[in-house]
Amino acid sequence: MKPIHLLARLLASLLCAVLMLAALPSAAQPADPAQTSLLLAARNASVNHRIVYDGDPRRREPAAPWATADEVRERGSGDCVDYAIAKYFSLVAAGLPPDQLRIAYAEVRSGAPSGTRQRHMVLAWLPPGEADGDPLILDNLLDAVHPLSRRPDLQVLISFNEAGIWRGLERGEPAREPRRITAWARVLDRMAAAGPAAAYSLDSTRTVTGSR
């Protein structure tokens, strides 16, 4: 084969390889921030309107076990803990990396700056690759998703996911391993035992309005 023909074939092969890499699914490439923001907003509102708010059981028994995503789906009601857990597993099932998501244990202030502070649970999304990026907050109190910087009423105490526990929404290595939160460890065990069927499914949960 003539050298010029060999060079042409090599260039053609290289071009095909480049085109194949460009066509790989998004999981092989950095996520589109705009698409991620749309997914977060849609999932936050959808879960908010598919679970009827009911905080009475935990007010009566604060140490009551946390529900898994499928348990919340079957029951159709829950409190802020249940909303946050359902959103976490729903977004992981939708393809978001778990290390970008944190369930956040926080205090929320009502009314004026001196208003009453109550314990609350939300889900936070941390922008990837940004050591000080502004997290987005998915809250059952609001259908809109806002950056933490626009939530002066919210103070995050700790956050956690399947990899560990952090102070506030700090980046870097976790301060503790996730199973130090016993209720969360039990959720993870039950989710693992149930398998993929335990992933939170919006399609199998009834739609409600005025739930919060």
User: For 173, which DSSP code?
Assistant: S
State which H helix or E strand residue 75 sits in: helix 69-75
Q: Where are the alpha helices (DSSP H) in the chain?
A: 3-22, 33-48, 56-60, 69-75, 80-93, 182-194
Q: What is the DSSP letter of 176?
A: B
User: Pick from 195, 203, 162, 196: which is nearest to 181 by CA?
Assistant: 162
State the pLDDT at residue 209: 40
**Where residue 122 falls among pLDDT bands split at 50, 70, 90?**
very high
Point out the least confidently predicted range of 28-42, 81-95, 179-193: 28-42
Strand partners, 101: 125
pLDDT digit string, tens, across residues 131-155: 889 999 999 999 999 999 999 999 9
Chain centroid to CA 135:
11
Q: Whole-structure pTM over 0.75, yes or no?
A: yes
Half-sphere exposure of residue 135: CA atoms within 13 angstroms, side-chain side: 25
Alpha-carbon distance 135 to 120, whole Å? 17
Q: Mean pLDDT over residues 3-17, rounded?
A: 42
Can you tell me which residue has the tokens 């700056």? 113
Is pLDDT at 171 greater than 70 in this prediction?
yes
How much is the pLDDT for 181? 97
Q: Which amino acid is present at 61?
A: E
